[in-house]
């Protein structure tokens, strides 16, 4: 059994009309936006949002995005986007689940990987910076 994530967060959204493709489903590119909303809420949980990252001297670009579309989203659907921090020692790996706010049905699974980049040198950090461990409240 998988241990409980160190941090997790959720956002509830209603799918807007302007996110639809000509077939009436959410265009696949908008799913990344929904993940981002949940990720921002997750980062707030440990006081390390994007402003705090920049102030600490690091950028955290997304270097990998994986998505599994289970059932398409449509206009007016109310969904819950859940984000869970799964790894942090060398990278931020966050897993997501988008599910129906009505019946809890699983609609999309996803994950992202972000890596720390030193803002002043542009160099990739091979280990997460100490500030992240401090914000998470775990030993470095």
Active site residues: 21
Cα distance between residue 68 and residue 65, in whole Å? 10
Length of the chain: 140
C-alpha distances out from residue 76 to 2, 15, 17, 20, Å: 33, 5, 8, 11
Cα distance between residue 129 and residue 115, in whole Å? 10
């Amino acid at each position: 059994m998988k241990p409980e994530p160190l941090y997790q967060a959720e956002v509830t959204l209603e799918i807007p009309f302007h996110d639809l493709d000509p077939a009436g489903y959410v265009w696949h590119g908008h799913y990344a936006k929904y993940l981002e909303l949940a990720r921002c809420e997750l980062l707030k949980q440990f006081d390390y949002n994007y402003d705090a990252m920049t102030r600490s001297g690091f950028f955290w670009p997304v270097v990998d995005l994986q998505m599994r579309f289970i059932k398409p989203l449509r206009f007016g659907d109310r969904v819950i986007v859940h984000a869970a921090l799964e790894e942090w020692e060398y990278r931020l790996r966050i897993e997501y689940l988008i599910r129906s706010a009505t019946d809890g049905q699983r609609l999309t699974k996803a994950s992202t990987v972000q890596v720390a980049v030193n803002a002043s040198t542009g160099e990739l950090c091979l280990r997460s910076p100490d500030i992240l461990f401090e914000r998470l409240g775990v030993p470095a």
